[in-house]
Structure 1
């Protein structure tokens, strides 16, 4: 899982977890990620959108 390894590399914390999940209600649209508790969705994950997700995590308090 590329996202999980990127998070481990970029962040030295146990405050961020990457977990596999079943369908989030939009399975037919591809792989998605949700950041909680803010409910920020990253849809149709790709290598480029993983970079956006990592940037978002870095800019979050």
Structure 2
């Protein structure tokens, strides 16, 4: 069974587990390039603060093709 690279990589959403400093930066990198990003963290406090910053980035980049 040979591995083939999917052709729809640009249209796939990204999931980031962990909304700490590194997780937020990884999510921000994908969001600023127009990707759909979901971020999750086991801690409700960290998850809530990480989400607020990414929502603002997503609205600024959503107009990109």
Instruction: Provide TM-score, normalisation by structure 2.
Output: 0.31
Instruction: Provide TM-score, normalisation by structure 1.
Output: 0.32
